[in-house]
Structure 1
C-alpha cells in the first residue's frame, strides 16, 4: 500500500473506499489485481482493507476485529452527522468483549429524522440521544460505553449482556448517576428487563469471557453463588487465586481459557498440576472447565455436583 493510502486507512480503522484508493493513485486494474490475489479484501461493497492474518486470535477477538472493520466501512460510505454507531457495534469500537450478540449487521442510531429499519446490512435505530449519550471513538461518532451497554442488553440474550456488563464494570466503571439515568431512559424499552437483570447480576471480578459465560451457566442451573477470585495459601506460602470457590461445598472451579498452551506447554501443565495438588492438599475438590465443556452444560453441571458430593 502506498504511503498516502496507508495514512488515510490508519485514520479509518484500516478501511478505505474504491474512490479513495483511486484518489491515492491506484488504477482500476491495480485495485482489481490486489483484490484477486488476496492482498486486499472487500469489507462491503466499494470498501476495502488490507488482508490480515487472524488465525492466532481468540474467536471473539477475531469476530470483534472483523466487525470493527465492517463498522468503519459502513460509516465511510454514509453522509457525516446522520448516524452514530450504537449497540454492540459501539461496544466493539470501545473494545468491550462481546459474546453472542449479532455481529452480522452494523448497528447505528439516527441523528436525523430518517426512518429506522434494516438497510443494506445496517440496522438503523430511532431514539433520542443527548450529548451525554454521545462520544467519538476511533474517529467515529458513537454512543458512550454505558449507553451502548444498555442498548445491547435490550436486544440480546442474558448471557451476552452479562459477558459485556462484567467487562464494562471491570474496565469501564460506570458512575451510579449515569446508571440511574439510563435505567430511567430505558425503563419501557423492549428487552429492558434483560438489560436490568444482566447489570444486576454482573460482577467486575469476572476476568474473562469464559468466566462470565460459566458464571451464567452455574446461575442458570441453580448452583450456589461462588466466591470469585478467592485467594489460597498453605504452609509454603501463596498458592494462587481461583476463579470460583464454593465455600460450603469445599470445591474450586477453574476455567481454562487457553486454546493452546504454545511452546511452554509442558512447563505450564506442570505448574498447573502442582498448583492443583496444593489445593487438594487443603481438602478441596478441584474441577477444571474448558471451552468445550461449555457446549455440554448438563454434563458439566453433573460433574461439578459430583465434586460437591465427594467434598
Structure 2
C-alpha cells in the first residue's frame, strides 16, 4: 500500500481521492487498498479505512459520509435535514439515513444524485451553527426541516428531544416557522409546535402522545411528580390525568435494559417496577395503564382503551396489543 494514502486521510478518518492524488498516489494505489480490504468505499471518490469503518455505528458511518460530501462539494453547503439530526445527536426513529442532506446557501439546490440530496432554501444567519467542525442548520431550523420531509409522527420525537435538551424553545420554533410559513411541506409546523413538549423523555413517549392526540384523548400532563407524606418526590409518571385518577407508563426496552441498576437482572428490574407501581397506587389511589411499543402501531385501539379507562372502565393488566 502506498504510504501517502494514510497521510492523505483527514483528521476525522475520511480519505478523498483528490487528497490522495495531491499526495502523489494514483487510482491504482486506491484500487490496491480496496482489493486488500484495508480501504472501504463510502461513495465515488470518498473512502474510509475499513478497521475504522467497522468500528462505527450507523450514526458514525453517516457522519463519515457527510464529511466526505462537504469535502467534495464545489460550493458552500450546510448540513441539514436528517443529516443535521445526526450531528445534533437527535432521535432517528424510522428516519432514513442512507442519504446525506445538505442545503446550498446560494439557493441552487433541489437535486438528488449519488446518495446526496441538495436542498434549496433561504438560510438566515441564526439558522447556521458549527458542530464538530461542520456548518449545520441549528436545532430549531433542523426540527422544522424534518417536518418538511416527514410526517408529524416521525418529526415529533425530534422536536421533543431538542426541547428537552434545551437546544431550542417554543418561541424560537415559532419565530422560525413564521419565516418558513409559505414554504412547501411546512403546513404541519404550527400543529407540531403546539403538540411538542420537552418534558417527554423518549421516542416512545412522543409517539404515545401523538397516538393519544389522534384518538381525541384529553391531553395528559407529562412527568407528573408523585410526592410522599413528607413532600419528597418518589416518582415521576410518564403521563397523568389527575382529575381522572389515571396515569400511563410506557414500557420500552430502555426501562428494563438500559436503566437497570448495577447487578440487577431484567427480572429484578421488572419486579422493582411492579413495586413502584403499587406504591404510587397506594399514595394516590390512581390506576395505571401500561403501554408497550406494539400498542403504538394501533393508535385507534389504544386511544379507545385509554378513553374507556378515563371514563371509569377497567384496566386490563394482561391485555394483548391489538
**Alignment TM class, shorter chain as reference:** 0.7 to 0.9
Distance 1:230 1:3 in 2: 59
Residue matched to 2:77? 83
Q: Is the 1:5–1:24 contact (alpha carbons within 8 Å) kept by the matching residues of 2?
A: no
Give the alignment's Cα RMSD to 1 decimal.
3.2
Q: Does 1:261 pair with 2:257?
A: yes
Is the CA contact (8 Å cut-off) linking 1:115 and 1:126 kept in structure 2?
Answer: yes
Report the Cα distance in structure 2 between the residues aligned to 1:169 and 1:115, rounded to whole angstroms: 29
Q: Is the 8 A contact 1:88 1:149 kept in 2?
A: no
| Unpaired stretches in structure 2, ≥5 consecutive residues | 259-263, 316-322
1:123-202 mapped onto 2 (5 Å cutoff): 123-174=117-168, 178-202=172-196
1:96 corresponds, among 87, 90, 93, to: 90
The count of aligned residue pairs is: 297
Tell me, what secondary structure is at the counterpart of 2:121?
A: coil
Q: TM-score, normalised by structure 1?
A: 0.81
State the match for 1:46 in structure 2: 45
Higher alpha-carbon deviation: 237-246 or 157-166: 237-246
The 8 Å contact of residues 170 and 193 in structure 2, kept in 1 or not, is answered as no
In the alignment, structure 1 segments of 5+ residues that lack a partner are 55-61
Q: Aligned pair in 2 of structure 1 residues 299, 41: CA closer, same or farther (>3 Å)?
A: farther
Which residue number corresponds to residue 208 of structure 1? 202
Distance 1:298 1:24, change over 3 A: farther
3-state SS in 1 of match to 2:226: strand
Whether contact under 8 Å (2:84, 2:136) holds in the other structure is: yes
Superposition deviation, residue 241 in structure 1:
0.6
Separation in 1 of the partners of 2:134 and 2:101?
13
Query: How many Å separate the matches in 2 of 1:125 and 1:63?
Result: 23
1:188: how far off? 0.5
CA drift at 1:272 = 0.4
Question: For 2:7 and 2:158, how far apart are their aligned partners in 1?
Answer: 32
The alpha carbon displacement at 1:245 in A equals 0.7
Give the Cα separation in 2 of the matches to 1:252 and 1:118.
46
Distance 1:150 1:288, change over 3 A: same
1:51 is paired with a residue whose SS is helix
C-alpha change, 1:178 and 1:286, in structure 2 (3 Å) is closer
Change over 3 Å in CA distance of 1:31–1:253 after alignment to 2: same
Aligned mate of 2:34, from 31, 34, 42: 31
Residue 277 of structure 1 aligns with which residue? 278
Question: Relative to structure 2, which stretch is displaced further, 169-178 or 183-192?
Answer: 169-178
Question: How far is 1:166 from its partner?
Answer: 0.9
